[in-house]
Structure 1
Amino acid sequence: MSRAIDIPAADGTIDAHVFTPENADGPLPAVVLLTDIGALRPCYHEKAQRIADAGYAVLMPNIYYRDAAGEIVPAGQSFRDPDVRPTLVEYAGHLTPEAQSRDFVAWLEGIDAAPEFAEGKVAVVGYCLTGAFALRMAAEHPERIAAAAGFHSANLAQADDAHSPVKVVNHIAGRVYFGHADRDELLPPEQIARMDEALAAAGVHFTTELYRGAPHGYTAKDATGSYHAEADELHYKRLLTLLEETL
């Protein structure tokens, strides 16, 4: 089951959804689920509910609340359609590291204010561009983030990016898991290696896994030509194991 909530933030009001199991009894461990570049839409509601049904309260915020509320992609269209994609790319460009930092604070405050969430540690999971957000949130709030996961993450460790999350991993205290697509043009092998090296040097407890035959976007059911059912199921298995072991 789910309900819509509004979360006050430094840059406005974040529209978000909270998902819990049917007939949930009492507050549950908190998970922040961040959508891919396509933002709030049915396949991510389904994803959040499936995670919640395993015994968690899941917060799914609208990462583009500064520009638009609710679903950005019109019904019946794909987030990859040429008349939709430019808007999403524009909105994503507004999510600077500084903007992300302000949102991290708001999400945690929203969790603390909502009755569905238990006190204590939080996990965060991101997809595509928000895999980097999850890592940055873990670095900026090590006292709260027990686990951070990223699936088909994009641009995690670009050599020419002064604001790359690879530069802040030494602050992470929680567990990290990455499920990478082995045919991902947005995260080539050299970036994976650079991130792994940084995490190892920082002493972070992390796992990196390559999903064989999986393209970028393998968990998005509405991504024509990218969705990979076997890799998607593996992602749930790995994520739920991580949550069970850390929350």
Structure 2
Amino acid sequence: MTETVQIPTLDGTATIPAYVARPTGKPKAAIIVIPEIFGVNSGIRQKCDKWAAAGYLAVAPDIFWRFAPGVELNPDVPDELQEAFGYFQQYDPNGGVYDIEAAIHWARREGAAKVGCAGYCLGGRLAYMAAARTDIDASVGYYGVMIDTMLNEAHAIANPLMLHIPTADHFVGPEAQAAIHAALDGHPKVTLHDYLGEDHGFAAEMGDRRSEEAAVLADSRTAAFLAEHLA
């Protein structure tokens, strides 16, 4: 079953729209699917639906709800890609991580004993931030942007975090990737996976960016990681 819900913000002054996919029967756990810069589009909804089919309560919050509520963009359309870049510039991730925390609280109120997340692009950065700043049980980030600027927070990561890093990411260059590895390779709670020659967006559900073999591998690693740590 799928629906749109309103998640109260932490301060209770507003609500965050979110797409929710529910499994049949009692969920194993909850997974927050954190969108890219393209909103809760068909690809993000499909990821939620897959998690629900696997037995999880899946929720994708509208991270742009403050200034572009309900926006759905296609990264393969140049004008829509540029629109998304504009929203990225407006977005405050420090405030946005509170929205992820609000989604964690909502999922627990829905009966989820454990809550994890899987985030993509900007959502991958938010997955890292959630691992460092919230009590989320496990986090996964795909091609997270600007994580290299936040490595001073790595000491605060107390629960498992997995990051998927495409080596040919044209938004996260070699120097940034090297910094991430230098800071996190030895972290007892962090697992890093490199994808040689893959680019940003390789695990999109659909469209020109998807790289099938790498996407299937990354998603299988994510599924096993979250199954282990959300059990």
Query: Scaled by the length of structure 2, what TM-score is found?
Result: 0.89
State the Cα distance separating 1:189 from its structure 2 match.
2.5
Aligned: 1:178 with 2:163: yes
1:88 matched residue in structure 2 = 84
How big is each residue's C-alpha offset from its partner over 1:2-21, in whole Å with a ceiling of 9 and x where there is no partner? 11101122573211011122
Residue identity matched to 1:12: A
CA distance in 2, matches of 1:82, 1:8: 34
C-alpha contact (below 8 Å) 2:18/2:61 kept by paired residues: yes
| Structure 2: runs of 5 or more not aligned | none
Aligned: 1:111 with 2:107: yes
1:214 matched residue in structure 2 = 198
CA distance in 2, matches of 1:213, 1:190: 16
CA distance in 1, matches of 2:55, 2:18: 19
- 2:196 match: secondary structure: strand
CA distance in 2, matches of 1:146, 1:111: 12
State the Cα distance separating 1:200 from its structure 2 match.
4.3
C-alpha contact (below 8 Å) 1:126/1:150 kept by paired residues: yes
State the Cα distance separating 1:56 from its structure 2 match.
1.2
Residue identity matched to 1:39: G
Aligned: 1:197 with 2:182: yes
CA distance in 2, matches of 1:59, 1:185: 29
CA distance in 2, matches of 1:241, 1:95: 31
C-alpha contact (below 8 Å) 2:125/2:145 kept by paired residues: yes
Alpha-carbon spacing, 1:151–1:41, altered in 2? closer, same or farther (3 Å): same
2:146 matched residue in structure 1 = 155
2:129 matched residue in structure 1 = 136
Residue identity matched to 2:58: V
C-alpha contact (below 8 Å) 2:125/2:144 kept by paired residues: yes
Alpha-carbon spacing, 1:105–1:175, altered in 2? closer, same or farther (3 Å): closer
C-alpha contact (below 8 Å) 1:140/1:171 kept by paired residues: yes
How big is each residue's C-alpha offset from its partner over 1:15-35, in whole Å with a ceiling of 9 and x where there is no partner? 1011122xx222431111111
C-alpha contact (below 8 Å) 1:173/1:204 kept by paired residues: no
1:241 matched residue in structure 2 = 224
State the Cα distance separating 1:245 from its structure 2 match.
1.0
Residue identity matched to 2:31: V
CA distance in 1, matches of 2:40, 2:97: 20
Residue identity matched to 2:174: P
CA distance in 2, matches of 1:187, 1:223: 21
State the Cα distance separating 1:240 from its structure 2 match.
0.5
Residue identity matched to 1:153: G
Question: Going by fraction, where is helix more abundant, 1 or 2?
Answer: 2
CA distance in 1, matches of 2:125, 2:156: 14
CA distance in 1, matches of 2:211, 2:43: 14
Residue identity matched to 1:234: L
CA distance in 1, matches of 2:93, 2:145: 15
Following TM superposition, the consecutive aligned residue runs of length 4 or more in structure 1 with deviations greater than 6 angstroms are none
C-alpha contact (below 8 Å) 1:34/1:130 kept by paired residues: yes
Alpha-carbon spacing, 1:13–1:90, altered in 2? closer, same or farther (3 Å): farther
1:70 matched residue in structure 2 = 70
